[in-house]
């Protein structure tokens, strides 16, 4: 692992690091904010999974997470959204290939050699973080935006006991019935739609739900609202009697202005669950 940069931030440290990923078979970069409490011992960890076209840098610089994480003594990790490098397959469209890993393990060519983002987020990066930083890996929460909200919800429901809580900003909530989902799941996983179900938050909610609280914020002026399908997830959560809050925020769109407005709420929400464990 190499340190790319480390900067003082809200009495803590905002770092950027790169390492060779076995899962993705390429170099991967991630950002990690450590509050000052990490100088004294392990602190809880919140994951923030970003959306389409993003790298580790977008949320690190635009979401405003550091101030609120510092207030609650919580670390925040910002992984990249896909493998990178000259030998990594890509597509001319913004919503497939680099920047669009969809947090799945690809089984189809040309994606399979590198696009193993599920294993990277679920297994490889957590192990690396636990070995190298003052983090309490028994206390983890997860959050995400758009494609990253999809990833946060599906990881949380597929890994029971891993995360105390899950939240999302404008998640892709029902990808198996959306153009933001069907295209990518078919490309990465093939035409057998039974393999897609574990990557659909609405289907997972109907099947198993989540063993903790959920918070979702969705802007009413989101330009991608028809692709996100929050109403499908809301119906599934109601039927499952899930401990969940879905807030439709009037006037907000899909941007980081929306995310930064409500980031304080999301980190406080996770802090309550993390410190209750």
Choosing from 146, 165, 167, 178, the catalytic residue is 146
Choosing from 199, 254, 266, 270, the catalytic residue is 254
Q: Which two tokens stand for residue 248?
A: 């439709």
Kindly give the interhelix angle for 256-276 and 65-72, rounded to the nearest 10 degrees: 20
CA distance 151 to 144: 7
Active site residue 265: no
In sequence order, which residues have a C-beta less than 8 Å from that of residue 81 and are 6 or more positions away? 49, 50, 51, 52, 53, 54, 55, 99, 100, 101, 117, 147, 148
Active site residue 82: no
Active site residue 254: yes
Choosing from 72, 80, 222, 266, the catalytic residue is 222
Which residue numbers are catalytic? Answer: 146, 222, 254
């Amino acid at each position: 692992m190499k340190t790319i940069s480390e900067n003082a931030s809200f009495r803590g440290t905002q770092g950027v690091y790169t390492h060779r990923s076995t899962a993705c078979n390429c170099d991967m970069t991630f950002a990690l904010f450590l509050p000052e409490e990490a100088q004294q011992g392990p602190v809880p960890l919140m994951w923030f999974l970003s959306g389409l076209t993003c790298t580790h840098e977008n949320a690190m610089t635009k979401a405003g997470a550091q101030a609120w994480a510092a207030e609650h003594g919580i670390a925040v990790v910002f992984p990249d959204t896909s493998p990178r490098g000259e030998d990594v397959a890509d597509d001319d469209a913004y919503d497939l290939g680099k920047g669009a890993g969809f947090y799945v393990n690809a089984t189809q060519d040309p994606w399979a050699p590198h696009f193993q983002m599920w294993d990277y987020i679920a297994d490889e990066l957590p192990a690396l973080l636990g070995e190298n930083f003052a983090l309490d890996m028994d206390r983890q929460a997860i959050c995400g935006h758009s494609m990253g909200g999809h990833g946060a919800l599906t990881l949380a429901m597929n890994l029971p006991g891993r995360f105390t809580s899950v939240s999302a900003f404008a998640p892709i909530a029902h990808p198996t019935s959306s153009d933001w989902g069907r295209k990518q799941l078919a490309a990465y996983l093939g035409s057998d739609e039974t393999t897609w179900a574990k990557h659909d938050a609405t289907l997972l909610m109907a099947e198993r739900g989540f063993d903790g609280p959920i918070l979702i914020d969705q802007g009413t002026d989101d330009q991608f609202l028809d692709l996100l399908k929050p109403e499908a997830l809301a119906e599934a959560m109601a039927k499952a009697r899930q401990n969940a809050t879905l807030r439709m925020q009037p006037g907000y769109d899909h941007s980081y202005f929306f995310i930064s407005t409500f980031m304080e709420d999301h980190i406080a929400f996770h802090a309550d669950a993390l410190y209750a464990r």
